[in-house]
Structure formats: structure tokens, C-alpha cells
Structure 1
């Protein structure tokens, strides 16, 4: 009786999936690497692509960023060569200076990009809240303002940290001052022993420019412990945030049906 020829080997779930049609973990990893990284809007989300987008945005707002970055690179490399020739190891110091020069250029790009981003949102409603949310540690600033004037779009943002409560007004000083004073009184009634710092974002007199707002808040000296901070946070949470105006008219949840009209009278 003739024996059957052995069947050709198939791609298993192990390391055999070397091609695109493999089913192993290595094949899946290769497909992920080859897959273009794009976001929901179709833009690339890779690290280099994001850096290019930041550089293009910054260059449009401030064309001098190119010369600043090149200047930092030249200065760092020149300093590395001078130190290298002085110590007798110019090649070694030059190799060490290249990553430092790139790092310095990235720092310049980050500072310029931050200023360009603030310049784009400055003057718009809610710009102060966007600047305050850039604070990573030590402060809690909700996304929504605690008070808004629906007619002028002036708003007040409230933050809490170990330095106390910070109220930041976003709008012209002659208009947003009333909102700030009303919110300050409300906070003082709930936590009378906690310091309340009142700031206004803007370019006017006695106002804090948008790029310096986060730094101004971070420089406030802490006066509370973490335990006291949690107690104050729970009290402020009882105040709540912005309340939407209730439309006038009959409340449909409390309306009663007209029984006479239903009977035909």
C-alpha cells in the first residue's frame, strides 16, 4: 500500500510567521511597525511627525526660530571644540557636544512654540483656562470656569493649591472685576481662613500676560498642608461650578394634566 506524501508545513502561531500573512506575534509586531501612525484627523502621530508640525507652526508665527536654533547649535559646538583643544581631546568633546547642541535647539524650539501657541489663543474666550491647565503639579484647575457672563463671554477660573485659592479673570478689567469680586465673596464665606489670590489675565494695567500666568501662580508660597488642602477641596466642591440659567416658562416635570380638557368640558 503506497504511503501518502507529507503535507507541506503551514505557518504556525509561533515564530514561523515571518511574512505579512503570518499569524505569530513577531508577524503582528512587524505589521504594526509598517502600519502608518495617523490620528483620527488623518495627521501623522509619530514623534518625528509631531516635532515637524510644532516646528512648522512655530516658524509661521516666529520665523526667527530657525536662526535661534542654528545659533545655539553653533555656540555649543564651538564651545565643545574650544574645551576639546584646551584639554587635548577635540574629537571626544565634539562627539559629546553634538547631543548637547541638539538638546539646546529643542529647548529653544519648545520655548518659541509655547509663545506662539499663547499668541494664537490670546484674546479669545477661555484663553486663561488653557494657560492655567498647563500647570502639571501642585494645582487643580477645572476645565470649566466657575462664573461666565453670557453677554460678554467674560469668565472666572478657580484653582486650588497649597498656596490657597486662586481666582483668574479672563476679560477686560472693568467688566470681569465684578465677576471676580462676587466669586471672591462666595469663596470667603465657605473657607474664610484660606487666602484667596485674585488675578486678571491680559495685557492691560495690573494684569498678568498669558505666557506668564502659569509661572505667576506657581510662585505663590504654600501655606497649607495636604490634609488641610483636602478639606478645603471638599468645601469648595459643595459650592459647585457654573450654573446654567433656567429657561422661563412651565416646568414640564411639574406640569399637571388638565382633567377637564381631557373629558371634553
Structure 2
């Protein structure tokens, strides 16, 4: 009996040591993976900042000067205030991150304007701007009315101001399309829900430029509650949308006629 216990005891110790060794190796591998992931995330973050800066600078060459001005003014104000209250070392430590933050805010604002400037005037630009709306707004992904020839479109937004029809195209040309859309929605909404028409563009005095579109919608008078917004969207989602006479997902500018069908 003594021989059996002496044989099994070293074996169990060896197995425990082997398991411990495997566990340590696995921990080392996991640690290396975490380090690699952190580096990859850092590179991705700085790469995105570089990409945004390059895109913004191509449209706004003065972006560097605006960022420097914001950083210097913020640094000076924060440094003076903290130095007067505490000391100059603390002022330096506090003012530096605030200066960098101010420069980043300026870059983000300029980048947003540059992005809107690139897409303004193109079909679907209003939809791209409306998609920046956050909670409390329901935006239709596809236009609820569209003219295939002129590319004029009407997009639907549901929020606390009511049902908002955002048009894309000259006001005189989209007027008939808006009236048809209004008549189609009125039986579903009844008279309790206001229908507001907002014209996007820069041609007319009553049009709202693309960069100011979301701000204009947020400034409209609130008529509905959060619960009523969801209820109206539920009603409208059951309403069939008149699809434009082009296949979904096809770019109208790149679509070409079938030459074989034209020949007969």
C-alpha cells in the first residue's frame, strides 16, 4: 500500500505543476493580446483624427489657424485663472488639456461644415443631414415621395413638433409632390397632429441650408409628447410608401438604359 501512495503522490504533483505552467503561459498570451489590441485601438483613433483633419483641410485651408487660435486663447485664459488661484505649475497642467480640447472642438465643427459642403446639392443630402438627429426623432431611411426625372424628394421626420416633411428641390417644383403627400398622410394623422413642411436648400428665402437643417427642426414648437411620437410613427409605419420608379439601392446617376432592349 505504501508503494502505491508513493507513486500516485509524485504523479499528482507533476500534473499540478504542468497545469500551473499552462495557466501562466496562457496568462502571458492574453496579456500580449491585450497590449496588441490597445495599440491597434490607439492607432485607429489617431488615424481617424488624421483622416478627418485631412478632409477638413482640403475644404478649409485655414483650419490650422483656427485650431491654433482656439488653443492659444483657451490656454491663456485657463493658465491665468489657475495661476492666480493656485500656482503656475498647476495652471500649466490644467491649461494644456483644455487647449487641446478646444482645438479638437474647432476641428469637429469645421469638419461637420466641410462634410455638409461636400454633399450639399446632391440627391439624398437632406437625408444624410437628418440622420444626425438623435433620440426623440424618427427619420425615414427612404424618401416617402420622389420624382425620378428631377431627383426631387420628400423625407419624413416624426418628432415632438409633429410630422415634418423635408423637401429636396426647388420649392415651386416640389409643391405638388408635397400636397399629394400631405393628403395621403392626413387621414392617418387626422387633425390632431400638425404637418410641417421644411424646404432644404439655398435657392429661395424660405429654404433652410443643409448645415442648419437639424438646428431648424429642433427650434420648432413642441406639440407632441414622447408617447404620442411613438404612436404616430406606429401608424405611419403601417402606411405603404410610394416607392420611386427606380430599383432600391441603385444610384440614379449611374443607372444606364438597356441598349439591347432599345434595339428590339
TM superposition score category, shorter chain reference: 0.7 to 0.9
1:114 aligns with 2:123: no
User: Which position in structure 2 is the counterpart of 1:15?
Assistant: 24
TM-score normalised to structure 2 length:
0.78
Partner SS, residue 163 of structure 2? strand
User: Which position in structure 2 is the counterpart of 1:26?
Assistant: 31
User: Which position in structure 1 is the counterpart of 2:203?
Assistant: 204
Distance 1:151 1:112 in 2: 34
Q: Choose which of 50, 56, 59 in structure 2 pairs with 1:58.
A: 56
1:227 aligns with 2:227: yes
Q: CA deviation at 1:50?
A: 0.4
Partner SS, residue 158 of structure 1? strand
What are the residue-to-residue correspondences of 1:135-150 with 2, within 5 Å? 135-150=133-148
Q: Deviations over 1:123-155 (max 9, x none)?
A: 000000000110012111021110110111111
Partner SS, residue 164 of structure 2? strand
TM-score normalised to structure 1 length:
0.78
Distance 2:43 2:198 in 1: 37
Distance 2:20 2:36 in 1: 16
Q: Contact between 2:146 and 2:244, CA under 8 Å: does it hold in 1?
A: no
User: Which position in structure 1 is the counterpart of 2:8?
Assistant: none
Distance 1:13 1:156 in 2: 63
What are the residue-to-residue correspondences of 1:52-201 with 2, within 5 Å? 52-87=50-85, 89-192=87-190, 193-201=192-200
Q: Give the RMSD, CA atoms, in angstroms.
A: 2.7
Partner SS, residue 227 of structure 2? helix
Q: Deviations over 1:107-136 (max 9, x none)?
A: 101110000000000000000000011001
Specify every segment of 5 or more residues in structure 2 that has no aligned partner in the other structure, as ranges. 1-13, 248-264
Q: Deviations over 1:173-197 (max 9, x none)?
A: 2212221121112112221220011
Distance 1:175 1:12 in 2: 76
Q: Aligned residue pairs: how many? A: 231
Which is helix-richer, 1 or 2? 2
Q: CA deviation at 1:199?
A: 0.7
Partner SS, residue 200 of structure 1? strand
Distance 1:13 1:140 in 2: 53
